Amino acid sequence: MTLSITWTAPTLNTDGSPIKAGEITGYELGVRPAQDTPGVYPLTATVKTMADAPAALSSLKLVVGDYVGAVRAVGPVDSPWSAETPFAVMPVPRAPGDFRIQLVVQGAP
């Protein structure tokens, strides 16, 4: 299984001024069950970089179901949440059954 989480880091503040170095200290991932209230994230994880996001999301121990996620920049003042993205946690299939190997040696004395 490969988990890919990406976003584009903001370069401007909401007033149009450029974001200064060190102003963004990390990102917060927000997750909610798909049927719950939009914009309210009961499950969150904070990461320093985008590369840390898959492990952080995995640490939330989501059960099988449909979810929605969003991200926001954190720092002295947190950004608004991004647009939401739906995703699903799928069940793990059972292992194959009746696996056998038969070795037939031809011409053995």
* pLDDT tens digits, 71-95: 999 999 999 999 999 999 999 889 9
Domain span at residue 41 reads: 26-89
| Residue 31 forms part of a structural domain | yes
The answer, yes or no, to whether residue 107 has pLDDT greater than 90, is no
In a domain, 1, yes or no: no
Residue 11 lies in a domain: no
Distance CA 50, CA 9 (A): 9
| Structural domain total, the chain | 1
Percent pLDDT > 70 in the chain is: 97
Residue 8 counted as domain residue:
no
pTM of the full predicted structure? 0.81
Q: Is 38 within the bounds of a domain?
A: yes
- Asked, for residue 103, whether it belongs to a domain, the answer is no
Where does residue 97 rank: exposed (0-12), middle (13-18), buried (19+ CB within 10 A)? exposed
Is 44 domain-assigned? yes
